[in-house]
Amino acid sequence: MTSNTTTDPSSAVHDGSGAVSGTGAASGKHLALVEDDRLNAKILRRILGRSGYEVTWFENGEALMEALEEGAFDLILLDVVLPGVDGLEVCRCIKASERHAEVPVIFITARSGSEDVVAGFEAGGADYIPKPFQASETLARVRAHLSIRQLNAEQAATIAELDSAVRSRNRLLGVTAHDLRNPLISIRGFGEMLRDGMVGELNEDQKEMAETISSAAASMLTLINDLLDLSAIDTGELNLELEKADLGELLEKTVHLYKGQAEHKRISIVTEPPETAVRCRFDCARMRQVAENLVSNALKFSSPGSCVRMTWGWREERPFFAVRDEGPGIPEAERDRLFEDYGKTSVRPTGGEKSTGLGLAICRKIVEAHDGSIEANNLPDRGCEFCVKLPRGDGVEVMVERREEQ
């Protein structure tokens, strides 16, 4: 392996192997120079050394790759035409390395055609310096890419710190919510017992107070359950238990569960099953949670006398299910709030129901954990459709079976 290291804050060029400490803003930055032409290498080392960069020179790409196995560089200047492996292939190897992929590579080349420049960028190069070298241009490009790398590193560190803080917050939130859940269940249960006269007759005022206690506890319990789900998802603790199941069977049960609530608001709720049964792999408990949330949401924003429809089948060769209502729809200017944490629109529930703003966000995260998608669209006449599409293939087995004749 042929390599020489130099830092040259003076006008002299050091061709020995010993490194001289650099000065100025570039001090401490270690560059690799791969150039088989000794005169070009000498010129570049002079330009860079005078600005305080520490430069290690290699005559071929193989020598650089050997050095990268032992150490690292802040930036690599790489000739395109080299003996043995050319610069483009060397760059591809660098970018394929997990350890050195973020190191900027600047090509040095006498080729200035657009095809050659494009080939360099496609190989992973960050920039190129044409021959013959211009000192000011060379230094400007080197400084720019070192600055970009430094900014990227600082940004990555900041993101990592924020991610750690969010995870810590979510863990604390999960623990707190879990500790509050059991007392709230008890309060709701005792409130219902009082309301229903299980511990003695109550007058009307007492019944109203018991109903208020029960209702408030139920609302708080909904919030706590949503917070627990959100914490589990955001901390990566949402473990899906995929199994092959009949999607329609799950949706029929969901609709049946909400028949009473629909009747209470004088809303009709119906299913529109396809001619074929749809069987696919999904987490039954989590997908039921999504379906229940969408049905509950539709009822919440529907007016008496309207209809909520659950339909499922195949759309774009993917299994899907959709909930349609006849409500006011989604204000176009507020569409981006729908699936965000604590996102709410200006549309208000028709029966004064409470909303945490977490339900649709949790739905989106559950569906995306299945590698599926969820979207909401206003219908032509009135109302809105929330549609969930599940994946086909890629490890998720999907089958279509003819319904057995009754």
- Alpha-carbon span 220 to 181, nearest angstrom: 9
The model carries a pTM of 0.55
In this prediction, residue 27 carries a pLDDT of: 63
> So what's the pLDDT on residue 3?
60
Q: Would you state the pLDDT for residue 148? A: 93
- Spacing of C-alpha 32 from chain mean position: 35
Tokens 């299994």 -> residue = 319
- Closest C-alpha among 143, 153, 148 to residue 31: 143
pLDDT at 112: 65
- SS3 labels along the chain: CCEEEEECCCCCCCCCCCCCCCCCCCCCCEEEEECCCHHHHHHHHHHHHHCCCEEEEECCHHHHHHHHCCCCCCEEEEECCCCCCCHHHHHHHHHHCCCCCCCCEEEEECCCCHHHHHHHHHCCCCEEEECCCCHHHHHHHHHHHHHHHHHHHHHHHHHHHHHHHHHHHHHHHHHHHHHHHHHHHHHHHHHHHHHCCCCCCCCHHHHHHHHHHHHHHHHHHHHHHHHHHHHHHHCCCCCCCEEEEEHHHHHHHHHHHCHHHHHHCCCEEEEECCCEEEEEEEEHHHHHHHHHHHHHHHHHCCCCCCEEEEEEEEECCEEEEEEECCCCCCCHHHHHHCCCCCCCCCCCCCCCCCCCCCHHHHHHHHHHHCCCEEEEEECCCCCEEEEEECCCECCECEEEEECCCC
Task: Output the 3-class SS for 27-46.
Answer: CCCEEEEECCCHHHHHHHHH
Cα–Cα dist 347/338, whole Å: 11
Q: Give pLDDT tens digits for 45-65.
A: 999 999 999 999 999 999 999
pLDDT for the residue 54: 93
Res 374: pLDDT: 96
Kindly report the CATH class assigned to 242-402: alpha beta
Tell me which CATH code domain 3-133 carries.
3.40.50.2300
Cα(67)–Cα(250) distance, integer angstroms: 60
- Pick the closest to residue 274 from 308, 244, 312, 226 (CA basis): 312
pLDDT of residue 13: 36
Task: Look up residue 326 and give its amino acid.
Answer: E
The pLDDT of residue 269:
95
Q: How far is CA 141 from the centre of its chain?
A: 33
User: Residues 1, 34: contact at Cβ < 8 Å?
Assistant: no
Low-confidence ranges of the chain (pLDDT < 70): 1-27, 112-113, 393-406
